[in-house]
Chain A
Amino acid sequence: MSMDWKRYEPKAFFDELITADGKVRPPAKRLISYLGSLSDEEIETRRQMAEATIQEMGVSFTVYTEEGNIDRAWPFDIIPRTISAKQWRTTAAGLKQRLKALNLFIDDLYHDQNIIKDGIIPGHIITESKNFRPECVGVSPPFGVWAHICGTDLVRDSDGEFYVLEDNLRVPSGVSYMLENRAITKRVLPELFENDRIQPVDDYCANLFDTLVSLSPRKVRKPVIVVMTPGIFNSAYFEHAFLAQQMGVELVEGSDLVVSDDDCVYMRTISGLERVDVIYRRIDDLFIDPEVFRKDSVLGVPGLMRAWQKGNVGLANAPGAGVADDKVVYAYVPEIIRYYLNEEPIIKNVETYLCEDPEQREYVLANLDKLVVKPANESGGYGMLVGPHSTKKDQATFAKLIKENPRNYIAQPTLALSTAPTIVEKGALEPRHLDLRPFILQGKDMYVTTGGLTRVAMRKGSLVVNSSQGGGSKDTWIVETEA
């Protein structure tokens, strides 16, 4: 590519591939020199090839609009994002540490609540959390693990360090896109995979399967595992089907399952009812059982909570696990790690202001134009205020919201999210901001994906990476460097 890296300007941001003075970072060396050997036309051909591949593979996500649901092709940039294997090993250890502590925390909350008794975290934060489920108190899922599948959002600040932006412990999605991104890249840039220093990512589904098997209440040789989806209209349906297929298990909807008089879960099959041991449910807590939670839910299975409470079925993630991905709880995670593991956190949190604290609230209200304000319990990038990109009117709206319900809001400094070269038009690369969502599993054993899903804000200067709001993605390479 006739790309002149001296002209590529990451400016004050940390760029994943190129240093501020235009040098190529070691893990990206082969990639950049290879790209350099391709003409603009060739790059364009590869880009089109990726687009066609995505269409043919049917990699899509659903966007809800007023005109109905639109199935959009997955937005993808062919230039991979590289990370050195050495740095990744430390990060992976930090992710495991974090999930381990969070699971000990959730288990404690639904049992003795020692962390509150010991004064580490104020009790009202938990009791007032929308995601604390009194129905779960006293339940003991296998291994004391509640969040079996966790998607943690990492960002790099201008110092090049990874920070945790948030933990997704309810029904995190994106892992299928991580796997598909690699499949696409292998087709589009096959020459680069000839050397084996790019670590493979494809063992995720096998590990997910093992994790689910370890949760089976029946100690049989082949427990029956299912993936439970809200259905075709869910934005992540593609992923639900993908995971079921990759694991070779049934993809079920609520109407396929029934809880019998023996409080066990069965699925309706061509030969009659068949017992189900573990459900990887991709439905929010509130919809899984109309007997206990939302009465109007047609997505769930009446009696499912009863079956789970009695230990007759494994649910991943367990109901109530979301209590730990509240953004107010997030602020306490470093303390949580120290309390349960007696270790220092390996990956730092982003500095967080809790609006319920009068002093911190004052600071937030005075600096709305500089901060990012987030509601404590939303996901998908909705209901946020990005201070530097907001109007006075937006700021006034948020000031009012914060004063009305301070417990529901947190604020963080606007991060200088790292960037990576992204194709913006034919032959032109510009830095675009990105984040990283690795997936961490915990059942009998623990596992972290090799890298994760890199999401890119495709619009110039934008910091919003969510696919529902114009974000794209890149393949993520963990590269073993000699140095």
Chain B
Amino acid sequence: MLSKVAERLYWTARYLERVENTARLVSVYDKLLFDLPDEINIGWYNLVILNSCTELFEDRYKNQDERNVVKFMLSDDTNPSSMLTALKMVRENIRTTRDVVPAETWEQINELYLFAKHNIQQGINRSKRHEFLSEIITGCQTISGLLYGTMSHDAAWQFMKLGRDLERADMTTRLLDAGTFALLSANGDASVNLRQIVWGNVLRSASAYMSYRRTVKAAVSGPEVANFLLEDPHFPRAVRFCLTQIDVAANKLPKHQEVRAVLKSIDPGALVIESEQQLGEDFRDYLNELQVQLGNLHNSIAATWFPIP
């Protein structure tokens, strides 16, 4: 297949994943903030921090309030990771790869994009936010399902997998970072109850709550959640699982030696986490390092298969 097409498919999947994750994140945050006692200093602005978008946000807005953050996350076209921008990128990439994806994909993404564009206000206002975001998540899953069920699992498919799993792994590290950061900003006096609320919501934002319960068979606690989301070999959003899937996909593509070597060097379990105390700034640095390594993995994928810029 064409190098250019490989690149576009990879980004299609990454952006599609980003749309879904952003919708999830906003949706979960909505619930999390309801659950927290008033005196706890965790705000909407954490979402901007965990997406590494603080500078961009400051350029655009003065107030770090709910409305501005949600607007920035969902509809802002100056934010390259906003849900609507990402959706637009999915649409543009599919528009230019229509010859390799199932014909219905184009219709579906159009429908979803038009829906999001016309109803974005529902996501920004609180009353219908949940319905709106559920609709978006369902739309993304419909497209993923459509691709999974009707697209030939050939090279094109492997590139979509690479993009999807890389974006997922990256997002999972950010979700963990969000939890850690939220508890740190509670000024150290986070009660057991608060910790459970925060880590529970981290799990929910990765749709991992049920799997965690079944797999870990223990109460929700920071170290267990971190280990589960980093290391679990079966849960599809765990970093370990994503990396294994990337390796499986890479292995089916030509000229994969270098990419697989880079993959081998990434170990999400390198840090042994046994106590709450370990989930501080050092843990945040560790997550940041993982994100850098995932960035290197992307560079290696691009250098191996994508057109020379």
Residues of A whose CB lies within 8 Å of any CB of B are 55-58, 227, 232, 241-242, 244-245, 249-253, 255-256, 267-272
Q: Of residues 1 to 19 in B, which have CB atoms within 8 Å of A's CB atoms?
A: 1-6
Q: How far is the CB of A186 from chain B (nearest CB, A)?
A: 15
A242 touching B98, Cβ below 8 Å:
yes
A57 touching B110, Cβ below 8 Å:
yes
A241 touching B1, Cβ below 8 Å:
no
A270 touching B95, Cβ below 8 Å:
no
By a CB distance below 8 angstroms, the chain B residues around A249 are: 99
Task: Contacts A250-B5, A267-B2, A269-B2 given; indicate if A56 touches B110 (C-beta within 8 A).
Answer: yes
CB contact between A241 and one of B6, B99, B155, B305 (< 8 Å): that residue: B99
- Chain A: interface secondary structure? mixed
A58 touching B107, Cβ below 8 Å:
yes
A267–B307 CA distance with the chains assembled, in angstroms: 11
Task: Contacts A58-B95, A245-B103, A270-B155 given; indicate if A252 touches B110 (C-beta within 8 A).
Answer: no
B95 touching A241, Cβ below 8 Å:
yes
A255 touching B307, Cβ below 8 Å:
yes
The interface on chain B, measured as residues whose beta carbon lies within 8 A of the other chain's beta carbons, has a size of 23
B255's nearest neighbour on chain A, judged by CB, is: A271
A251's nearest neighbour on chain B, judged by CB, is: B99
CB contact between A58 and one of B106, B253, B254 (< 8 Å): that residue: B106
B1 touching A270, Cβ below 8 Å:
yes
A253–B307 CA distance with the chains assembled, in angstroms: 12
By a CB distance below 8 angstroms, the chain B residues around A253 are: 4
Task: Contacts A241-B98, A249-B99 given; indicate if A55 touches B114 (C-beta within 8 A).
Answer: yes
A58's nearest neighbour on chain B, judged by CB, is: B110
A241–B95 CA distance with the chains assembled, in angstroms: 8
A268–B253 CA distance with the chains assembled, in angstroms: 15
A448–B2 CA distance with the chains assembled, in angstroms: 32
By a CB distance below 8 angstroms, the chain A residues around B107 are: 56-58
Beyond contacts A56-B114, A251-B99: 10 other A-B pairs, Cβ-Cβ < 8 A, are A55-B110, A55-B114, A232-B95, A232-B96, A241-B95, A241-B98, A256-B2, A256-B3, A269-B2, A270-B1
A245 touching B99, Cβ below 8 Å:
yes
A252–B97 CA distance with the chains assembled, in angstroms: 10
B103's nearest neighbour on chain A, judged by CB, is: A245
Can you show 24 pairs from A to B with CB atoms below 8 A apart?
A56-B114, A57-B106, A57-B107, A58-B107, A58-B110, A232-B96, A241-B95, A242-B98, A249-B99, A250-B5, A251-B5, A251-B98, A255-B307, A256-B3, A268-B3, A268-B4, A269-B1, A269-B3, A270-B155, A270-B253, A270-B255, A271-B255, A272-B254, A272-B255
Task: Contacts A58-B95, A232-B95, A270-B254 given; indicate if A250 touches B2 (C-beta within 8 A).
Answer: yes
B99 touching A244, Cβ below 8 Å:
yes
B267 interfacial by beta-carbon distance below 8 Å: no
B111 interfacial by beta-carbon distance below 8 Å: yes
A242–B253 CA distance with the chains assembled, in angstroms: 27
Q: How far is the CB of A233 from chain B (nearest CB, A)?
A: 11
A253–B7 CA distance with the chains assembled, in angstroms: 14
Q: How far is the CB of A59 from chain B (nearest CB, A)?
A: 10
By a CB distance below 8 angstroms, the chain B residues around A269 are: 1-3
By a CB distance below 8 angstroms, the chain A residues around B100 are: 245
By a CB distance below 8 angstroms, the chain B residues around A58 are: 95, 106-107, 110
B106 touching A271, Cβ below 8 Å:
no
By a CB distance below 8 angstroms, the chain B residues around A270 are: 1-3, 6, 155, 253-255, 305
Q: Of residues 117 to 174 in B, which have CB atoms within 8 Å of A's CB atoms?
A: 155
By a CB distance below 8 angstroms, the chain A residues around B99 are: 227, 241, 244-245, 249-251
B254 touching A271, Cβ below 8 Å:
yes
A267's nearest neighbour on chain B, judged by CB, is: B2
Q: How far is the CB of B148 from chain A (nearest CB, A)?
A: 19
Q: Of residues 62 to 97 in B, which have CB atoms within 8 Å of A's CB atoms?
A: 95-96
A271's nearest neighbour on chain B, judged by CB, is: B254
By a CB distance below 8 angstroms, the chain B residues around A252 are: 2
A177–B11 CA distance with the chains assembled, in angstroms: 29
Q: How far is the CB of B210 from chain A (nearest CB, A)?
A: 34
A268 touching B2, Cβ below 8 Å:
yes
B307 touching A268, Cβ below 8 Å:
yes
By a CB distance below 8 angstroms, the chain B residues around A57 are: 106-107, 110
CB contact between B4 and one of A56, A242, A256, A271 (< 8 Å): that residue: A256
A249–B111 CA distance with the chains assembled, in angstroms: 26
Which has the most chain B C-beta neighbours within 10 Å: A58, A242, A250?
Answer: A58
Q: How far is the CB of B33 from chain A (nearest CB, A)?
A: 36
